[in-house]
Amino acid sequence: MARPTPTKPVERQYVSQAEAAVIIGITDRGIRKLIADGRLPAYRMGNRQSIRIKLADIESLMVPIPAATA
C-alpha cells in the first residue's frame, strides 16, 4: 500500500468579521462600519449569512504615518 504524501497546511486567505476585528484591534461593530462605508470589502460565501474578509484587504487598510520633519 502506498504511503500518503505529506501536504502543506493550507494558508487562510479569508477570516470572519470577529477574527478581522481581533487582527485590527477594533470591535466587531467597527468592522461592520468599515464594510458599510465601503472602506473594507467583504464577501458572502454562497447563500450563507456568514461574511468573510480577505486578509490582504485588512492589510491594505494600514497606511504608514509620515515621519515628522524637524
Render pLDDT for 11-39 as a digit per residue (tens, 0 to 9): 889 999 999 999 999 999 999 999 999 99
Nearest Cα neighbor of 15 from 33, 37, 40, 47 is: 40
pLDDT at position 38: 96
Instruction: Tell me if 33 is assigned to some domain.
Output: yes
Let me know if residue 41 belongs to a domain: yes
Is residue 70 one of the residues assigned to a domain?
no
Higher pLDDT, 64 or 70: 64
Segments forming the whole domain that contains residue 44: 14-60
Q: Would you say residue 36 lies in a domain?
A: yes
Assigned domain for 69 exists: no
CA torsion sign for 41, 45, 48, 51 is negative
At 54, which helix (H) or strand (E)?
strand 51-54
| Contact assessment for residue 54 and residue 20, using Cβ atoms and an 8 Å cutoff | no
- pLDDT top residue among 41 and 49: 41
pLDDT value for 23: 95
| pLDDT score of 1 | 63
Q: How many domains does the chain have?
A: 1
